[in-house]
Structure formats: C-alpha cells, structure tokens
C-alpha cells in the first residue's frame, strides 16, 4: 500500500480553502426570488434543455478535468470553487463558495439551479490532504480537513436532493483508496474519506425510492498540481523521493505511474450516463489495484 493517497488532493491549494483562507463575503440568499421550476422533459425531447452538472473543486485537477469532460459531452456545468475560475464557454458558470460553511454549500446549489433551471448531477471533487502523526494532530487541522472533505460534501448533497429528484439525477462523490482502507500516517484524511464512502452507501439507500443514484469514486494517487505541492510540503526536502515512495506501493513495479485526472473524469462521466442506471451505492476503485490487497 502506498504511504500516501491523494484522492482528495485533486485540487490546487487555493480551491480547497486549505490554509489561512478568509471566508468569502457573499450576500445572503434571496429567498424571495423563487427558483425556476425544475424541468422534467425526457432527454430525447427536442424541447429538453441541456442537463446541468454542479462540480465542486472545479479549479483543481480532477474537478477541472471533470468539468471539461461534461462540457465536451454537451452538458452545462456550474463550477464551484473558492478559487477564481474563468468560464470557458457560455455553457458554464463559476460560483465562488467556501464549502467549509453550510450556508455557502446551500448558496452554491441555489445559484447553480437559478442559473441552469435544473440539476442533473452533483460531483463533489473539492477536498484537501493532510498527513502526520495522530498524536500531533491539532483541532484546527482536524476541522480544516473534516469541514471540507466531509461536512461540505454532505450539505451540498443534502441541498441538491429535491432538484436531483425532479430530473432523476445522481451524485458522484470523490472518496479515496484511503476511504476504503487504512493509510498509516493519514488518520485524519482516512476519517474524512471513510466518512464519504459510507455516507455514499447510506444516501444511495435513502434516495433510491426517489430515483436518485449515489456513487463514490475511490482513486489512488492522481497526477495533479496538488500532488506536486503535497510532495514539496511533506517530502522532507526531497519531493522526488516522496513521489517515488508512492509509486513503490503499486503492484506494477517499474511500470507504475500516477493516475491522470482525465481517467478519473471519464469514470465519473460514465456514472452519470443512462447506461450506469443500475449502479448505485458503489465505491468504485480506480487505483491500479492499490486497494486490492498485498502484492
């Protein structure tokens, strides 16, 4: 097993509000302004509007790749991040939000639906990494990781439920191989991602009668700017050796490489397509066999 997992570190440091990030000063939601009526026309209807995906952590590696995949597939995309995003097409919108705050989670969903008129998929890709001895963990560090990786994800899902029910939509959460197995030296991160994995199953059972599917994707180490930053921060002055130690944990040996963000995005895309309707409550590994066992 690799010493470190980076499934949640798909985002650049700025898009996860990892450290010393001030809260975004945003106006309160105007509840007097009603949301558009959810559209329930079938996908093959000529009058059907393009489906809408809300993607958190969209300024980062996996979130950005996923946004690109959905845009390439003809969807409209609401890109949520604490960092600044410049929409690349009229079919996308940027929503700045600090997802450590429950009100911000609710506002992000509200603004996405107000913009798109519907909501067909939620992809929770925002996340932050940490590692270190458990007996040295501070309350601040615990809160920093749990508030974004688990609490923020939960309340984005919760706020999206009625809108997804109206369209028969679904949720894809990015968990981690560390969300389905232990990872020495990363207890806080494992707690956050383990929560995501079992939360995904619980929500899938709860929401199945309402026509909403919920799945999690569990990547291993993904080649992103955050992985490089992680190696620099935690690599004890030798980020190259840190990255090599990660690769040494894979069964591929000399053929081992890091997962590409586009590979994760392709799996997420599939899980949101009609062909994947039977799949719900699944934690799907995409990790070169890292979580399969000891090789």
- Active site (catalytic) residues: 189
Distance separating alpha carbons of residues 17 and 239, to the nearest angstrom = 23
Cβ–Cβ < 8 Å for 58, 71: no
Joined together, the tokens standing for residue 11 give 């985002």
> In the chain, what is the straight-line distance between the N-terminal and C-terminal CA atoms, in Å?
9
Separation in Å, CA 130 to CA 6, 32, 118, 290: 9, 41, 35, 19
Point out which residues pair with 52 in neighbouring strands: 76
Residue with tokens 């009625």: 162
CB 54 within 8 A of CB 161: no
């Amino acid at each position: 097993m690799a010493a470190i997992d980076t499934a949640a570190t798909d985002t650049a440091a700025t898009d996860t509000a990892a450290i010393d990030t001030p809260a975004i000063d945003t106006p309160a939601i105007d509840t007097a302004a009603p949301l558009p009526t959810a559209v329930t026309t079938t996908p093959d209807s000529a009058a059907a509007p393009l489906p809408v995906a809300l993607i958190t952590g969209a300024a980062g590696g996996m979130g950005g790749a996923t946004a690109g995949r959905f845009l390439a597939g003809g969807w409209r995309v609401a890109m949520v991040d604490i960092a600044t995003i410049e929409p690349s097409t009229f079919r996308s919108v940027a929503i700045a939000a600090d997802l450590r705050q429950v009100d911000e989670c609710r506002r992000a969903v509200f603004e996405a639906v107000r913009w798109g008129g519907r909501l067909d998929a939620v992809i929770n890709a925002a996340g932050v990494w940490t590692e270190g001895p458990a007996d040295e963990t501070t309350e601040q560090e615990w809160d920093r990781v749990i508030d974004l990786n688990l609490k923020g994800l939960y309340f984005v899902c919760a706020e999206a439920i009625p809108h997804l029910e109206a369209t028969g939509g679904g949720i894809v959460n990015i968990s981690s191989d560390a969300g389905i197995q232990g990872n020495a030296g990363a207890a806080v991160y494992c707690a956050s991602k383990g929560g995501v994995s079992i939360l995904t199953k619980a929500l899938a059972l709860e929401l199945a009668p309402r026509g909403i599917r919920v799945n999690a994707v569990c990547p291993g180490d993904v080649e992103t700017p955050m992985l490089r930053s992680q190696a620099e921060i935690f690599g004890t002055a030798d980020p190259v050796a840190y990255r090599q130690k990660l690769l040494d944990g894979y069964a591929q040996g000399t053929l081992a490489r890091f997962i590409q963000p586009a590979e994760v995005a392709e799996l997420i895309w599939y899980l949101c397509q009609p062909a994947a309707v039977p799949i719900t409550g699944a934690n799907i590994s995409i990790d070169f066999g890292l979580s399969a066992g000891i090789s």
